[in-house]
Chain A
Amino acid sequence: MKIYILLIFNLFTYLLIAQEGKKVQFIGGARSILSTSDFTTDEKDTLTVGKTTGGYALIDLGIKINPNSRTEILGMFRINNAFGGFWGSDVTFGVRQLHVKGIAGKGIRYQLGNIDYKLSPYTCYNSNPDLILPSFGTTLIKEQIINYESFYKSNTWRQQGAAVDFVLDFSKNHDEIKFKSFLFRMNPSNKGLVFERLYGGGNVVFNHHKNLQIGANLASVFDVKETALTNDVYRNQVATLTYQYTHEFEKLKMELSGESGFSNTFSAEQKNTELKDYFIHVKGNTLIKKTGLLIEAGYMDNGADFRSAGAQSKRIDFTQQNSIYQRFTNNQILRPISYYDLYNDPTLYSIQFSTKLMGYNPAINNVLPYGLATFNRKGAYFSLNYSDKKERINTQLKYYRLAEIRGQGTQALRKFNYFVGSINFNPSAIFHWKKSQTVSLAMGYQETNRLSKLTLESIDLKSYTLNFGISCEIIDKLYLIGNSFLFKSNGNEILPIRDAKGTIINFETTKISGKEFCLSSGLKFEFSKEVYLSVFYERNTNSFIASNPYQFNQFQVVYFMKF
């Protein structure tokens, strides 16, 4: 026994010494949530347990080893204990992250294992088209948890495979060429009818004089032949050109940039379902240096048959069912995914992207349901960004005027108006208070119209989203936080029903009318920027199923830590 104690002591001593030399570092995070919820509906419901209490504590412990100055090995493990479990019951262990990265030779950077990756907005890019407004207060806490759970970091997708990049530097003219390439495994073969599916590509970006950038990007999803008992391999190839030119004057900074390219999607044995199309996206912006005002205007034309799995995949597939209060009332009707679920249920979010078009909720985002790379959209947009140098006020406004390129079920085209804006006030900076005070307001408005002489083809849908939040430091590091979130939608849509290949085979007429309102407030104590404890209560009402409106109240204690 003494020998074991000695061995453990020696191991810890070694790790502590190693920490000093930064050869071994511990990184990770910890989180604990305790919640009690109360679900009620006006309808008679003797089957749903209204009040539930639950929670968990988890720790993600990563060991980062640097065997030498050019290599890093990271392994992160998760231990999760649901409250109520005792002596090991309800405890799960898992591997959260594994990678090796380093520099080979004179500067070839490589990474193997779990990789968070993005390329360009039309090739490989994890957009967030469903949470259209920025989060503050309690919604910020929830979005932070979702992003951490699903590995969402600045629009990257979590992939498994290998990536390499390097730079050729021509120091004479400040020119350089950057090379990036990757190969990821999307799914393994089941030795039956499912192929080994890979995702590969890369880009070459040429930088000239620090003000001109031209890049060529390629991303391809492909099945490996002979890894299944069929020859019907799938391909989705996207090739694009990115460009950016910046010119600086004494009072202005101007930039012209964009991305254009094409895609080809097909199955080897079903050539009749092949989809080929192109897109153009050009934008220009001007920064007025004195005022900090940034004005931008852009034009986009995303072909109706343009498909890019890496850029058009959504974080949430709205065809899935809720995991919290999935059914309710004595008729056990399904509860559709609400905005409240988007903020509260990380299990709804997918980690990997999909080659199938995922389902969307037209009430939430009908204009760009698949992000900026949404197919069948053409039009212009305009935006204003203003940031006060003294950080007193910060605002972003954006307006899209788009239309379909090809009609769905009719020659009449949908037309879209989409406005999204947010404003942050910082009274502390205005009134020179020592303690931090922030008041934030964000608003989204979407309108879809399709005018037709035939009533059965007409569409008129309007949606409003509003998020108001406050964060007031009342005593040192203790904040009063609160949110008021409103989502309202009215009108009709005629949604396409697609087969497994994505071809429209039918339409479903949907009438939308409802309101969701969530009011929350609580306290948050910040031990540091990435360690906090928060206690809050929220009251959510939802009337999107007119015959069965429901109320979902929740009290939560959240402890969050990253180290």
Chain B
Amino acid sequence: MERILLLIIIAILLVGCRKEELKKIDGPLLSDLNGKFSVINNLKASIDSIDFKSNESMFFTAEFSKVSSWKLEIIGQKSGAIKEISGIGNKLTNLETAWDGSTTFFPIFQKEICTARLTFTGEKDTLLTTIKINQPKINPGFIVADFESPFNSGWSSFIQSGANMDFQIKSNNSAPQGEGYLNMAGTVDWDWLIGLINFKASAYGAKTFPLTSNPNNLFFNVLVWGEPSLTNSIVLFQFLEDENVDGSFSTNSEDMYSHQITINWTGWKLISIRYSDLQSLVNGSPAAASGNGVFEPNKLMQINMLHLANPSSGFAKSKLDYLIFTENKPLQP
């Protein structure tokens, strides 16, 4: 038995005699990293124009003399939308720079010409090229409201009669998607509620919203504006399920799930939440659901959107756009 062990050890040592690894190197060459920077191949788009609606994709290429920290910004000349891609390397290929028309900083890209700008940390060089978007990206999902059309007659609303009230759809180039958005502003010093809109499934020609029954696979997304120097706005979404599918909602026996957003940022922000992560809330605190306690998005009959603010906090303002349900993953605009 001892001989067997000896043979095993000898065999392991013989088999294990490592091949020369001197030609292999982990990571980029230090001499490349610390050499002089120069552009070998200028920034180029793989195609001149693109139709993202037809799922076309494109990429950018460039090559430079040493491994550098680079940042590629694609800027919509009309919308001002920005797609940002960054990385470390000595060249840009389709692996690093493939673009499907998505946005990093709102608004969303439109049909427009974009400027692509490549910059490098610690270097003065800036490389430029252009790409034309023939058709912008289409996001798969069910759009509850994108405010591109006037107020849907199937929705209902209530707006307090406070001071400086402005609760309406507006259309201008500050919209993060398309040209329209919902503006919500006003001072209500006797109540938390400033205004609300009920988005009813019946407004879309059905008793319930056409959604999957799997709550783990469904995401609710909305673009929310934070007004500079105002942090008192709260947007509360309520999701009412018609469990017995009788066409009406019973507060005492059916589930209402909520998602409350405290707006403490400036500018547009994408808020996405998985349907199964919604909570049953009473006065902002988690509470037991009134119905069967099962998330059933396929029985969703109404979405209430309430714009709230502490009555003592004065003027409150926010904006909303692009309320959309997506499946499998949050919205990637």
Stretch at the interface among A36-44, A47-55, A82-90, A500-508: A500-508
Query: Is B67 positioned at the interface, with any CB of A under 8 Å from its CB?
Result: yes
When C-beta atoms are compared, the residue in chain B nearest to A209 turns out to be B1
When C-beta atoms are compared, the residue in chain A nearest to B12 turns out to be A260
Find chain B residues with CB under 8 A from A94 CB. none
Please pick, from B13, B26, B29, B67, the residue contacting A406 in the complex, using a CB distance under 8 A: B26
Find chain B residues with CB under 8 A from A409 CB. 25-30, 33
Binary contact readout A16-42 vs B (1 if CB under 8 angstroms, 0 otherwise): 000000000000000000000000000
Find chain A residues with CB under 8 A from B328 CB. 229
Q: How far is the CA of A238 from the CA of B148 in the complex (A)?
A: 57
Q: B28 to A407, Cβ gap below 8 A?
A: no
Q: Which parts of B1-28 form the interface with A (CB within 8 Å)? A: 1-2, 5-6, 8-9, 12-13, 16, 18, 21-28
Find chain B residues with CB under 8 A from A505 CB. 27-28, 67, 88-89
Q: B5 to A212, Cβ gap below 8 A?
A: yes
Q: Which parts of B303-333 form the interface with A (CB within 8 Å)? A: 328-329
Find chain B residues with CB under 8 A from A496 CB. 26-27
Query: Is A241 positioned at the interface, with any CB of B under 8 Å from its CB?
Result: yes
Main secondary structure of the interface of A (DSSP, over half): strand
When C-beta atoms are compared, the residue in chain B nearest to A452 turns out to be B30
Q: How far is the CA of A247 from the CA of B6 in the complex (A)?
A: 13
Q: With A191-B216, A209-B1 as given contacts, are A456 and B30 in contact (CB-CB < 8 Å)?
A: yes
Find chain B residues with CB under 8 A from A507 CB. 27-28, 30, 33
Query: Is B229 positioned at the interface, with any CB of A under 8 Å from its CB?
Result: no
Q: How far, in Å, is A186 (CB) from chain B's closest CB?
A: 21
Binary contact readout A489-501 vs B (1 if CB under 8 angstroms, 0 otherwise): 0000010100000
Find chain B residues with CB under 8 A from A304 CB. 21, 24, 26
Query: Is B285 positioned at the interface, with any CB of A under 8 Å from its CB?
Result: no
Binary contact readout A214-248 vs B (1 if CB under 8 angstroms, 0 otherwise): 10000000000000010000000000010101010
Q: A408 to B25, Cβ gap below 8 A?
A: yes
Q: How far is the CA of A505 from the CA of B26 in the complex (A)?
A: 9
Find chain B residues with CB under 8 A from A241 CB. 8, 12
Q: A457 to B27, Cβ gap below 8 A?
A: no
Main secondary structure of the interface of B (DSSP, over half): mixed
Q: A504 to B31, Cβ gap below 8 A?
A: no
Q: B31 to A405, Cβ gap below 8 A?
A: no
Q: How far is the CA of A560 from the CA of B116 in the complex (A)?
A: 64
Find chain A residues with CB under 8 A from B274 CB. 191-192
Q: With A282-B13, A410-B30, A505-B88 as given contacts, are A229 and B5 in contact (CB-CB < 8 Å)?
A: no
Query: Is B46 positioned at the interface, with any CB of A under 8 Å from its CB?
Result: no
Q: How far, in Å, is B277 (CB) from chain A's closest CB?
A: 9
| Most A Cβ at <10 Å: residue of B23, B26, B33, B329 | B26
Q: How far is the CA of A506 from the CA of B31 in the complex (A)?
A: 12
Chain B residues bordering chain A, tally (CB within 8 A): 33
Q: B18 to A410, Cβ gap below 8 A?
A: no
Q: How far, in Å, is A483 (CB) from chain B's closest CB?
A: 39
Find chain A residues with CB under 8 A from B49 CB. none
Q: B30 to A457, Cβ gap below 8 A?
A: yes
Q: With A243-B8, A245-B2, A505-B88 as given contacts, are A407 and B26 in contact (CB-CB < 8 Å)?
A: yes
Q: A303 to B18, Cβ gap below 8 A?
A: yes
Q: How far is the CA of A298 from the CA of B65 in the complex (A)?
A: 45
Please pick, from A191, A303, A411, the residue contacting B22 in the complex, using a CB distance under 8 A: A411
Q: How far is the CA of A192 from the CA of B23 in the complex (A)?
A: 41
Q: A408 to B27, Cβ gap below 8 A?
A: yes
Q: With A256-B9, A505-B28, A506-B27 as given contacts, are A406 and B88 in contact (CB-CB < 8 Å)?
A: no
Query: Is A280 positioned at the interface, with any CB of B under 8 Å from its CB?
Result: yes
Size category, A interface: 35 or more
Q: How far is the CA of A409 from the CA of B5 in the complex (A)?
A: 40
Contact count A vs B, C-beta below 8 Å: 101
Q: How far is the CA of A256 from the CA of B67 in the complex (A)?
A: 48
Q: How far, in Å, is B75 (CB) from chain A's closest CB?
A: 26
Find chain B residues with CB under 8 A from A209 CB. 1
Q: How far, in Å, is B278 (CB) from chain A's closest CB?
A: 14
Please pick, from B2, B30, B276, the residue contacting A191 in the complex, using a CB distance under 8 A: B276
Query: Is B172 positioned at the interface, with any CB of A under 8 Å from its CB?
Result: no
Query: Is B34 positioned at the interface, with any CB of A under 8 Å from its CB?
Result: yes
Q: How far is the CA of A454 from the CA of B33 in the complex (A)?
A: 13
Q: Which parts of A536-551 form the interface with B (CB within 8 Å)? A: none
Q: How far is the CA of A456 from the CA of B34 in the complex (A)?
A: 8
Please pick, from A260, A282, A456, A504, the residue contacting B26 in the complex, using a CB distance under 8 A: A504
Find chain B residues with CB under 8 A from A457 CB. 30-31
Q: A408 to B12, Cβ gap below 8 A?
A: no
Q: How far is the CA of A178 from the CA of B181 in the complex (A)?
A: 70
Query: Is A208 positioned at the interface, with any CB of B under 8 Å from its CB?
Result: yes
Please pick, from A282, A408, A410, A454, the residue contacting B9 in the complex, using a CB distance under 8 A: A282
Binary contact readout A395-420 vs B (1 if CB under 8 angstroms, 0 otherwise): 00000000001111111010000000
Q: How far, in Å, is A163 (CB) from chain B's closest CB?
A: 28
Q: How far, in Å, is A378 (CB) from chain B's closest CB?
A: 7
Q: B8 to A214, Cβ gap below 8 A?
A: yes
Q: How far is the CA of A503 from the CA of B27 in the complex (A)?
A: 7
Q: How far is the CA of A212 from the CA of B2 in the complex (A)?
A: 7
Q: How far is the CA of A197 from the CA of B34 in the complex (A)?
A: 40
Find chain B residues with CB under 8 A from A245 CB. 2, 5-6
Q: How far is the CA of A301 from the CA of B328 in the complex (A)?
A: 46
Q: How far is the CA of A409 from the CA of B29 in the complex (A)?
A: 4
Find chain A residues with CB under 8 A from B25 CB. 406-411
Q: With A505-B88, A506-B67 as given contacts, are A494 and B9 in contact (CB-CB < 8 Å)?
A: no
Find chain A residues with CB under 8 A from B16 CB. 260, 278, 280, 301
Q: With A278-B16, A506-B28 as given contacts, are A411 and B23 in contact (CB-CB < 8 Å)?
A: yes
Query: Is A258 positioned at the interface, with any CB of B under 8 Å from its CB?
Result: yes
Q: How far, in Å, is A131 (CB) from chain B's closest CB?
A: 28
Q: A208 to B1, Cβ gap below 8 A?
A: yes
Q: How far, in Å, is A179 (CB) from chain B's closest CB?
A: 20
Q: B12 to A410, Cβ gap below 8 A?
A: no
Q: With A209-B1, A256-B9, A456-B30 as given contacts, are A406 and B89 in contact (CB-CB < 8 Å)?
A: no
Find chain B residues with CB under 8 A from A456 CB. 30-31, 34
Q: Which parts of A253-298 form the interface with B (CB within 8 Å)? A: 256, 258, 260, 278, 280, 282
22 residue pairs of the A-B complex, CB under 8 angstroms, read A191-B216, A191-B274, A209-B1, A212-B1, A256-B5, A280-B16, A282-B12, A301-B16, A301-B18, A406-B24, A406-B25, A407-B26, A408-B25, A411-B23, A496-B26, A503-B27, A504-B28, A505-B28, A506-B33, A506-B69, A506-B88, A507-B27
- Residue numbers of A with Cβ under 8 A of B are 191-192, 208-209, 212, 214, 229, 241, 243, 245, 247, 256, 258, 260, 278, 280, 282, 301, 303-304, 376, 378, 405-411, 413, 454, 456-457, 494, 496, 503-507
The 10 closest A-B pairs by CB, nearest first: A504-B27, A409-B30, A280-B16, A406-B21, A456-B34, A260-B12, A408-B26, A191-B216, A505-B88, A409-B27
Knowing that A212-B1, A406-B26 are A-B contacts, what are 15 other residue pairs whose CB atoms are under 8 Å apart, sorted by A's residue number?
A241-B12, A245-B5, A245-B6, A278-B16, A280-B12, A405-B21, A410-B29, A411-B22, A411-B25, A413-B22, A454-B30, A456-B34, A457-B31, A496-B27, A504-B27
